[in-house]
Every structure is written in structure tokens, then in C-alpha cells.
Amino acid sequence: MFSLQNKISIITGGGSGIGKAIAALFAKQGSEVHILDLDENAKEVAEEINGLNGKTFFHKCDVSRQPEVNTIIDSILAECKNIDILVNNAGIAHIGTVETTSEEDLVRLFNVNVKGLYNCMHEVIPIMKKSGGVILNLASISASVGLPDRFAYSMTKAAVVGMTLSVAKDYINHNIRCNCISPARVHTPFVDGFLEKNFPGREKEMFEKLSKTQPIGRMGKPEEVANLALYLCSDEASFITGCDYLIDGGFVKLNN
């Protein structure tokens, strides 16, 4: 079950955190993986996965720039002839209310978190229309509930859910499935960096506090999100499209 043998996968933001976990798991399950990431450290991630018998390639790419995405997709297609799976994971965060969010920050988040997904789907869907495929977008619980100081971030993640539903509807007759995942807090390098920057000397205390906001009592692990991603991108999930999956330790439904 959950084999991705002979599948070609593109994973954006695959150089760290959730994206890295997804790339590693997909490669383990037999997929040829292409990581698109702006951070050149993702090259080391690809090499690390290849050392574990995976087949993974790194492409430096700013997903907010359509010409870059187009060029890289064309180069992948020239070698692979097909793209079976697209995981739109690349994204950036921001802290602020509508008053404290600058126009520059709003546009910056939109360009990566919304336009970045559009750019990748715009280039990949015409390819998938020929033989079908799967698209998985990374949204957030912030699209479903109000989170303090996450105005711009919540806006972009709500857009991700909307785009997911639209694509699922428009391309269901082309055998293209499109779903999204909405995690709560997941322990990634971003979380550690956030705590170091905003709570120096209190990192452990604040980590515990943030962990306990999930009713399950802890943050998620990138590998747990990757497991759900694998299921949704596998043939075992062939009856699932147009869905937003919470993976949140009970945050949305159990926090009263």
C-alpha cells in the first residue's frame, strides 16, 4: 500500500520542515522527487535522501516568479515526460494584525503563499490533463479559525483552501485530484527560530505553552504531516478530492 513507484513528484519548499519530511517519505515510497526551493541548502537535503536510496533532485526556484517556475517545469518535463504529483508546500509566515501589517508584507505573503501556488498549478495542470495527477496544497488551521496576530498569513491560507476547491471542481473530469492539508503548530526549524527571536532565554517555557494550545498536548511532527500527504497522493486515496484535512491535535474541534 501507498506505493509511489514510477511516480514523478514535485515538492516546493522541500528543503526543511514539513516539505523535507514529505520529500524523504515520497522518495522512500519509490517516487522520483524534484525539490523546488529558494534555499540552496535544499541541495544537501536531496543528497541526504539520495544517500538513503532515494532519487531526488534539487532545483533552485522562487515560486513567486512565474518565468522561473515555467523554466524549471519544462526542464523536469524534458527528462521525465510526465508529472504525477505536485505538493505546494512552500510558504512564509508573518505576525501582525491588520493595523500592524504593512502593504509590503501583505504583498510579500501573497506573492509566495498564493501566487506561488498559482504559478506551480498553472504550469503543471496542462501536463496532468493528459494522463491525470494529484495536487496537494498546504493550508493551515488559520484558514478555519481566528488566530491572534496572523492577519496576512490567515488571508493567504484561506486563499489556499479556496484555490484547492476550485481546481478540484474544474479538473475532476481530467482525472486530477486536488486536496489540501491544514496543520496546527508543527515543530519545525521555523518554530525554533521564532522562539529564539521573540523569547530569548524563555524558549523552553514558550515551547511548552505553545504545545499545550493543542488539546492533544504537543505540537505535530513533520513526519506526521508527511504520512497524511502520502496517503492523499497515493492511489489508495483515489476517491478523495476537494477536501481540506485538519491535522491539528484537536485544535479546531476540541478547543472550547
- CA 55 to chain CA centroid, Å, is 20
Backbone angles phi, psi at 150, to 5 degrees: -130, 40
Predicted local distance difference test score (pLDDT) of residue 194: 83
Domain boundaries, the chain: 8-184+221-249, 187-219
Q: pLDDT tens digits for 195-250?
A: 998 899 999 999 999 999 999 999 999 999 999 999 999 999 999 999 999 999 99
pLDDT of residue 256: 67
CB atoms within 10 A of CB 188: 21
d(CA 246, CA 194): 23
Per-residue pLDDT band for 36 (boundaries 50, 70, 90) equals: very high
pLDDT in tens, 117-159: 999 999 999 999 999 999 999 999 999 999 999 999 999 999 9
118, 153, 171, 231: the active-site residue: 153
Residue 237 is predicted with a pLDDT of 98
Q: Which helix (H) or strand (E) holds 127?
A: helix 115-128
Question: What is the CATH number assigned to the segment(s) 8-184+221-249?
Answer: 3.40.50.720
Residue 153 is among the residues annotated as catalytic for this protein: yes
Mean pLDDT of the chain: 96
Question: 229-232, long-range: CB within 8 Å, 24+ apart, which pairs?
Answer: 229/22, 229/25, 229/26, 229/87, 229/136, 229/181, 230/2, 230/4, 230/22, 230/25, 230/26, 230/29, 231/2, 232/134, 232/136, 232/179, 232/181
Q: Rounded CA gap, 245 and 209, in Å?
A: 25
CB 17 within 8 A of CB 185: no
pLDDT band at 53 (very low <50, low <70, confident <90, very high): confident
The string of DSSP codes covering 224-256 is HHHHHHHHHHSGGGTT--S-EEEESTTHHHH--
Give the mean pLDDT of 180-184. 98
Whole-model pTM: value is 0.96
Q: How confident is the model over 91-112, as a mean pLDDT?
A: 96
